[in-house]
Amino acid sequence: MNVFRLTGDMTHLASILVLLLKIYATKSCSGISLKTQELYALVFLARYLNLFTDFISVYNTVMKLVFIGSSLAIVWCMRMHKMVKRSYDQELDTFRHYFLIAGCFLLALLVNEKFMFPEVLWAFSIYLEAVSTIPQLVLLQRSGNVDNLTGQYVFLLGAYRALYILNWIYRYFTEPHFSRWIACVAGLVQTALYADFFYYYFLSWKNNAKLQLPS
């Protein structure tokens, strides 16, 4: 494992911890898109179906369990926890995410590295992860004001994908026969989706001001 992947994994883990902190400490999910959290849960379930059949390392297995467990816990909390679900911005979180699911599954059937069930599911999870933050970004643009923990969560989520691009570039030059071009292209698309958010995040950080996005 190289430093870019390790840093990316830790950044991803940090984003989840920040989100869990926001939910459990404040008993609020205001500013968080349930649609995005449901998409992430689907991403991890589709990608890690091999959890109990293909053992790579203890680290790999633990991280898979953490991502699956935390994503399902967040979805459950936003849907079922009485105090938390009261703060859910349902009127703002209206992006039709099932179109993203259908489009990504169709794309996975057409464009994959090998037309086999595990590879199609892997491609589907990669495509879906690339666009899974769209409902979250749309919600933030509609609400305008972004609280500190939500801003940090989204920033860390975007930084994790950017670090993974460096990981893939590193692996391309150091590992023979590395050909995960689907992941590279999807990662670039996902990072590009964060460009506008990153701009306003750094602007607010520079000016020591509250993060606000143009509606």
CB 158 within 8 A of CB 202: no
pLDDT digits (tens, 9 = 90+) for 169-207: 888 888 877 777 888 888 889 888 888 888 888 877 777
The residue ranking higher by pLDDT, 214 or 97, is: 97
| % of the chain with per-residue pLDDT over 70 | 99
pLDDT digits (tens, 9 = 90+) for 50-78: 887 888 889 989 999 999 999 999 999 99
DSSP codes, 99-137? HHHHHHHHHHHHS-SS-SHHHHHHHHHHHHHHHTTHHHH
pTM: 0.91
- Rg over alpha carbons for the chain, rounded to the nearest Å, is 17
Name residue, tokens 């039709």. Answer: 96
CB 51 within 8 A of CB 107: no
- Smallest Cα–Cα separation from 182: which of 129, 117, 111, 109? 111
Return mean pLDDT, the chain: 89
Q: Looking at residue 212, what DSSP letter applies?
A: B
HSE-up of residue 203 (Cα within 13 Å, Cβ side): 10
pLDDT at 1 > cutoff 80: no
